[in-house]
Amino acid sequence: MSYTTLYFFAFILAAVVIYYIFPVKKYQWTVLLAASIFFYCYADFRYAFFIVFTSFTTWIAALQTEKIKAASKAELALKKGEWDREQKKIFKKKTKHRTGMLLFLTLAANFGILIFLKYYNFTAGGLNAILGWSGFSAPMLRLFLPLGISFYTFQSMGYVIDVYRGNAEAEKNFLKFALFISFFPQTIQGPISSFNQLAHQLFEPHRPEYLRFKYGLELMLWGYLKKLVIADRAVTAIHAVTADYKLYNGTTILFTVLLYALQLYADFSGGIDISRGIAQMLGIDMVENFRRPYMSKSINEYWRRWHITLGVWMKNYIFYPLAVSKTFLNASKKMHESRFGKTAVGEHIAKVFPTSVASLIVFLVVGLWHGANSRYVAFGVWNGLIIMISIILQPLYKKWIKALRINAQSHLWHFFQIIRTFILVLVGYMFDIGPNFTGSMDMLRMCFTDQNLQRGMFQMSGLGLYIHDYAVLAVGAIVILIVSLRQEKLSIDSPGVLLARHSAAFQWAMLFIAVVTVVSLGIYGPDYNAASFVYMQF
């Protein structure tokens, strides 16, 4: 069910009304579960098997893990006086092995499904290309990706890891757990929530609150403004260029990647705002997923502001385990003890080795998460390399700042950092929009070697957008910039809270203008196919 149809609004209205009028507050959460099941099956009931499988296996695994741990604890308590230290150590190791094996099987099964559905054809195609000469031919399969599989798989695996680590309690009620996995505002494109943050909110009864409704609706309206007016309008021009970039010159490609930066942010953050707005009306606060990422002063900061929950997931479940793993720590230790490690440079590199390499691996995974294509791998490697290099060169960077007498706290320097980071981000986006790695590199080259403004302007007029569309995009970008600057300055993320600082007349006027703008200028309805949410395919 698309977010941009009236049927969706009718569904939300029904869900919210039924939720609040449900007579038995203790079981109010069942309304959310029913709505989530309906929402999911409405898309395609065939998808339901996979999410049920993931929910069930994860629920069972978490319960079993807790059961094993509890039994182990009880056994240890019982044998406290009997066993010596060595015996206790062996017993604990056995318990850890059992729970570890259970965790491994759960991760393997569920990530296995994700990897198979997402990457089988990519891998088969690659193998056929490499080994085809020998007669090898892996069959290409017609596979479909269940709705939100990346998001709910990551969310459920995060949960089972948290239970394994003892950071979360296993949920005993399968239906409650199913709600945590399938909660409909987050199904399409996240955010990826942690059990501790989200679950209790889902299961607690809620009463309707005026401010929650007000801010929730305003957040939704802001999301629709970004999605329908800006993102879905820009996508026409982007598709025109990415369909065959060789028809265009470097100026047009550069313009397209800038447009893509706007479109991607508006689409993704717009969709998240709509999801969060709905949840807010239901009394549930979902975590933020975007915090003005283009105002970042470094790539590191960018990934703390862009797709925040994916970054947190990667940090908690891949980065930290890698960085503090024995393998990495031993490697760092060995480097320290080597001749190279005795030098100042070597000492620094040995120290930051675990974090920098772990970062590279994390972003390789991030790249693969985006899709089965060499360009996504390149996207991940690009970001990972920048972070890795910036960690390694950190002392040198500080020296340069000092030597050049740069005031690192000045607005000018911050502005430079923001622009520098944005350019690095744009290079990464080139891998997003190129057909493959080679194509992306070619497009990047053309941005430098094939500049012709006049020809570019002429080409831009043929990208499927009219002058008034470009005007809307320009005004839209300015509006987003102004709002973002206000949010950044006042440290207020909610557009509703930001708006509430003004007079009632101003607020009503803004709401009126926003609604009329979305209805009039939005890309929806039979004339256009509203572009699918960019991250829906994940």
Contact set with another protein (CB under 8 A): 5-7, 210, 466, 468, 504, 508, 511-512, 515-516, 519-528
Find out whether 106 and 61 touch, Cβ atoms under 8 Å: yes
Q: Which is nearer to another protein, 434 or 476 (CB)?
A: 476
Decide: 332 and 350 in contact? Cβ < 8 Å: yes
Phi, psi dihedrals of residue 306, rounded to the nearest 5°: -110, 130
Question: Among residues 210 and 448, whose Cβ is nearest to another protein?
Answer: 210
Cβ proximity to another protein, 326 vs 468, nearer residue:
468
- Cβ–Cβ < 8 Å for 182, 51: yes
Tell me whether residue 254 or residue 530 sits nearer to another protein (CB atom).
530
Q: How far is the CB of 147 from another protein (least distance, A)?
A: 21
Least separation in angstroms between residue 527's CB and another protein is 5
Q: Which is nearer to another protein, 77 or 505 (CB)?
A: 505
CB of 18 to another protein, least distance (A): 21
| 189, 272 contact by CB (below 8 A) | yes
* 151 vs 524 by CB, closer to another protein: 524
Task: Tell me how far apart the alpha carbons of residues 506 and 512 are, in angstroms, rounded to a whole number.
Answer: 10
Instruction: Report the alpha-carbon distance of residue 134 to residue 225 in Å, rounded.
Output: 54
Number of Cβ within a 10 Å radius of residue 211:
11
Dihedral sign (CA 508, 509, 510, 516): positive
Residue 133 or 210: which CB sits closer to another protein? 210
Q: Which is nearer to another protein, 468 or 489 (CB)?
A: 468
First CA to last CA across the chain, in angstroms? Answer: 16
Euclidean distance between CA atoms 185 and 198, whole angstroms = 12
Least CB distance from residue 122 to another protein, whole Å?
35
Residue among 315, 312, 316, 308 nearest 269 (CA): 308
What is the full DSSP assignment across 85-119? HHHHHHHHHHHHHHHHHHHHHHHHHHHHHHHHHHH
Question: Residue 136: CA atoms inside 13 Å, Cβ hemisphere, count?
Answer: 12
